[in-house]
Amino acid sequence: MKDGYRFMGFLYESIGSLYSFGRIPKCKVSMLAYLKPDDRVLVGGVGHGTEAVEASRLGADVTAVDLSATMLKHMQKKIDRSGLENPIRLINENILNVADEDGYDMVIANFFLNVFSEEMMLEIFNHLTSLVKPGGCMVIGDFTLPSTGGRIFKIFQNVYWYIAATFFWLTADNAIHRVYDYPGMLKSKKFDIREIKYFSILGIKSYWSILGRKSKV
């Protein structure tokens, strides 16, 4: 399995925090208030595991998946420092190979789907949404769609995204593409958008966390 973060994975969390002025860590955990103790949670493309560790602290049964062994190594260090009572299940695998017949109460994809070209992203998105049990939640945290605040704001949002996309294209071979419309994608899969939280830089909405609830029908 190709590990695109082999050489710079140790900087991943620090780079994200610095580039976002601390907004990314807050974005990653912002929807965990919806969790109940013993909820089953799947985190795809978990990285260093900020949201996975916090979900475990809240009493959730957490499974964390990442294709990068480098990322999971750094996540394990975070787990070791955290003194968690609830163990986190770590899986070094392509998320498309992860299945579960019972489904999850919450599936989280924070700053994960933006790694992929649109075709691959849609395949992974469809797979992740299929793992959410009826009545469960899908959470996506990422860069905002450049669509609010007027022309100057849209230019900032686009430039801000493409700087990050280009950096990770150069360092981790991630895809460069437009910002994806996650709320629209969730609605197309019959998810009800329950909440969107925005995280701004200089008054400009730069990141969002979207929570959709899957229909029980």
Task: Write down the domain spans for the chain.
Answer: 9-214
| % of the chain residues with pLDDT over 90 | 88
pLDDT at res. 7: 72
Taking residue 163's Cβ as centre, other Cβ atoms within 10 Å add up to 10
pLDDT tens digits, 66-86: 999 999 999 999 999 998 989
Rounded CA-CA distance 88/54 in Å is 11
Residue 59: pLDDT band (50, 70, 90) is very high
Q: What is the mean pLDDT of residues 135-143?
A: 98
Whether the CB-CB separation of 210 and 145 falls below 8 Å is answered with no
C-alpha span between 114 and 117 (Å, rounded): 8
Query: In which region does residue 212 sit, left (phi positive, over 0), alpha (psi from -120 to 50) or beta (all else)?
Result: beta
Task: Confirm if 76 and 10 have CB atoms less than 8 A apart.
Answer: no
Bigger pLDDT: 2 vs 146: 146
pLDDT of 3 reads 73
Strands 132-143, 204-214: pairing is antiparallel
Cα–Cα distance for residue pair 217/211, rounded to 1 Å: 18
The pLDDT tens digits of the residues spanning 146-183 come to: 986 788 899 999 999 999 999 999 999 999 999 999 99
Q: Mean pLDDT over residues 4-11, rounded?
A: 77
Average pLDDT over residues 176-199: 97
Between CA 65 and CA 187 the distance in angstroms is: 25
pLDDT tens-digit profile of 100-128? 989 999 999 999 999 999 999 999 999 99
> In terms of pLDDT, which residue wins out, 57 or 147?
57
Predicted pLDDT of residue 184: 97
Q: Judge whether 139 and 111 are in contact, CB under 8 Å.
A: no
DSSP, residue by residue, 19-33: HTTTHHHHHHHTTGG
CATH of domain 9-214: 3.40.50.150
Half-sphere exposure of 113 (CA within 13 A, CB side): 29
